[in-house]
Amino acid sequence: MFQKILVANRGEIALRVIRACHDLGIEAVAVYSTADRGAPWLDVADQTICIGPAVSAASYLNIPRIIAAAEVSGAQAIHPGYGFLSENSKFAEQCRESGIEFIGPPVAAMDALGNKDKSKTVARKANVPTVPGSDGLVETEDEAKRFAHQVGYPVLIKASAGGGGKGMRVARDDASLVTGFAQARVEAEAAFKDGSVFLEKYLDRPRHVEVQLIGDQHGNVIHLFERDCSLQRRHQKLVEESPSPNLPDAVRKEMCAAAVRLAKEAKYYNAGTCEFLVDQQNNFYFIEVNARVQVEHPVTELVTGVDVIREQIRVAAGEKLSYAQKDVVQRGCAIEVRINAEDPARDFRPSAGVVKTWRPPGGPGVRLDSHVCAGYRVPSNYDSMVAKLLVHQPTRAEAFAVMRRALREFIVEGIHTTIPILRTIFDTPAFIEGKVDTTYIERELMPNWPG
Ligand code: ADP
């Protein structure tokens, strides 16, 4: 087992990984940019190293600096968290070439799955259903039109390298296809330095259900059941829960088995997530693999009792999985909400600044993963998430009651947060009944929200 791990990330996920290291008796090295100097999570680390200025390209995305920091500190492994370098196979390769273990999947699996259109080829090979789509990349408007006419509008233009909802456009006719095609390519080129796009049939009001996977280097892969992340705004998740409400057990079983098949086909190990869309007839379609730990992994930790980060570290060190599939059960209901420094009354405008009051909830059934405290300045340079609030209860109704209580108790002053809209969401009948789809917030909730 490793004695020292470098955490190549910031904020709540850096803190989460540092905690997992300490639970395993491992020292944690935190790296930070000048914008994060003096940040609270750095106090918890055993060692801290400044890796550059605020701009991510020069610090949290700066591969030579991060590898040098690991070498100087004597860390034997690097945990990339999510975002930043977590899905960068070149980074993984360079870490391993430098004799530092990258806590994540093998490079070949990252390459095979890292790209949405390539990963669909792997899915088809593993006999996993995919959303009807163009056969590979679409280079010209004419090709795009041909596909759209063949499957029928609406269609979705998707960046092959996409993430975070970027480079995605819905087209409902030839005119919007032509403009969307150009916009998606420009946006993808700017965000990922890769403007390639492909097309998919745009499913009508689907639910988003994903399967957590974990595998070791000895060929064992298991699933840790599913999470429902249908409550989204602009293709970004706001709330996640497990189990997925109103999902027939047979579909759950099939979906989990399909995810494991796909991971085995790609010779995958470490943690990953297989994302699916579920249509109104409960047919499921693979959309992509997130080859890293996800923001919402604690939902799975609560219902299964498996510590996903600890397990990631163990398998990266070459150990066998601590669980066999039959040992993993889904107990009760867990829900997570993402609390972002954004103003929902002003179109979710980012709200950086100093947190004057921070009174988080607690009590039975509540877990809070956050790097924030009173006096902390939320920098404008990075992701706006300030906390993940989770609840775990025997039933979904009880989980809702505890979440309402926790959201009522949570007081933040000095910055705007998404807490007010989350309070509304937990009183919304369609969500209480588990009947929301990925377009619900924009279609039904926001137009009627007083703010
Ligand atoms: P990203 O990697 O940018 O997050 P995903 O491929 O994971 O993109 O898709 C994000 C969200 O976009 C999904 O959860 C869903 O809401 C929507 N989406 C993606 N593909 C489709 C599709 N074919 N039809 C309808 N909605 C889709």
Query: Which of 118, 166, 168 most suits a substitution to test ligand 1, by most atoms within 8 Å of the C-beta?
Result: 168
Report in angstroms the alpha-carbon separations of 141 from 107, 137, 286, 289. 34, 12, 26, 27
pLDDT confidence tier of residue 12, bands split at 50, 70 and 90: very high
Q: In what order do the strands lie in the sheet with 27-33?
A: 47-52, 27-33, 4-7, 77-79, 101-102
Residue 367, strand partner residues: 390
Return the residue matching tokens 């946006």: 187
Cβ of residue 277 lying under 6 Å from some atom of ligand 1: yes
From CA 118, how far away is CA 112, in angstroms rounded? Answer: 6
Ligand 1 atom at shortest distance from the alpha carbon of 165: 3
Lowest mean pLDDT among 155-164, 240-249, 365-374: 155-164
Phi, psi (deg, nearest 5) at residue 358: -140, 95
Question: For a pLDDT cut of 70, what percent of the chain falls above it?
Answer: 100
Pairing of strands 27-33, 47-52: parallel
Return all residues near 26 (Cβ < 8 A) that are at least 6 apart: 1, 2, 3, 4, 5, 313
Residue 306 Cα to ligand 1 midpoint, Å, equals 27
pLDDT at position 446 is 87
- Domains annotated for the chain, with CATH where assigned, are 4-103 (3.40.50.20), 132-201 (3.30.1490.20), 207-448 (3.30.470.20)
251 neighbors 226 (Cβ within 8 angstroms): no
Residue 440 Cα to ligand 1 midpoint, Å, equals 14
Q: Which residue's CA is the nearest one to ligand 1's atom 22? A: 202
pLDDT confidence tier of residue 149, bands split at 50, 70 and 90: very high
Q: Which residue's CA is the nearest one to ligand 1's atom 13? A: 235
Convert the pLDDT of each residue in 268-307 to its tens digit. 999 999 999 999 999 999 999 999 999 999 999 999 999 9
Cβ of residue 288 lying under 6 Å from some atom of ligand 1: yes
Torsion angle of the four alpha carbons 428, 352, 82, 317, in this order, in degrees rounded to the nearest 10: -120
Answer yes or no: is pLDDT of 129 > 90: yes
Once rounded to an integer, what is the mean pLDDT over residues 234-250?
Answer: 96
224 neighbors 307 (Cβ within 8 angstroms): no
From CA 358, how far away is CA 362, in angstroms rounded? Answer: 13
Residue 385 Cα to ligand 1 midpoint, Å, equals 20
Cβ of residue 200 lying under 6 Å from some atom of ligand 1: yes
Specify the DSSP class assigned to residue 442: I
Out of 16, 207, 292, 314, the active site residue is 292
Convert the pLDDT of each residue in 45-96 to its tens digit. 999 999 999 999 999 999 999 999 999 999 999 999 999 999 999 999 999 9
Ligand 1 atom at shortest distance from the alpha carbon of 275: 7
Strand locations in 161-264 (E)? 168-171, 197-201, 207-215, 221-228, 232-233, 236-237, 239-242
Cβ of residue 298 lying under 6 Å from some atom of ligand 1: no
pTM of the model: 0.96
Residue 338, strand partner residues: 388
Cβ of residue 22 lying under 6 Å from some atom of ligand 1: no
Cβ of residue 180 lying under 6 Å from some atom of ligand 1: no
From CA 33, how far away is CA 382, in angstroms rounded? Answer: 11
Please give the residue that has the higher pLDDT: either 165 or 168: 168
Q: Which residue's CA is the nearest one to ligand 1's atom 7? A: 288
From CA 89, how far away is CA 411, in angstroms rounded? Answer: 40
pLDDT confidence tier of residue 117, bands split at 50, 70 and 90: confident
Answer yes or no: is pLDDT of 212 > 70: yes
Report in angstroms the alpha-carbon separations of 443 from 115, 422, 439. 30, 16, 6
Residue 438 Cα to ligand 1 midpoint, Å, equals 9
Query: Which of 134, 228, 273, 287 most suits a substitution to test ligand 1, by most atoms within 8 Å of the C-beta?
Result: 287
Cβ of residue 202 lying under 6 Å from some atom of ligand 1: yes
Convert the pLDDT of each residue in 415-451 to its tens digit. 999 999 999 999 999 999 999 999 999 999 888 887 6
Cβ of residue 14 lying under 6 Å from some atom of ligand 1: no
- Assess whether 292 carries a catalytic annotation: yes
Handedness of CA 268, 239, 164, 77 (dihedral sign): negative
Report in angstroms the alpha-carbon separations of 181 from 119, 174, 177. 21, 10, 6
Once rounded to an integer, what is the mean pLDDT over residues 331-359?
Answer: 97
pLDDT at position 451 is 61
Ligand 1 atom at shortest distance from the alpha carbon of 208: 14
Once rounded to an integer, what is the mean pLDDT over residues 159-171?
Answer: 89
> Average model confidence (pLDDT) for the chain?
96
Return all residues near 366 (Cβ < 8 A) that are at least 6 apart: 389, 390, 391, 402, 406
Cβ of residue 232 lying under 6 Å from some atom of ligand 1: yes
From CA 233, how far away is CA 217, in angstroms rounded? Answer: 37
Phi, psi (deg, nearest 5) at residue 9: -165, -170
Answer yes or no: is pLDDT of 254 > 80: yes
pLDDT confidence tier of residue 193, bands split at 50, 70 and 90: confident
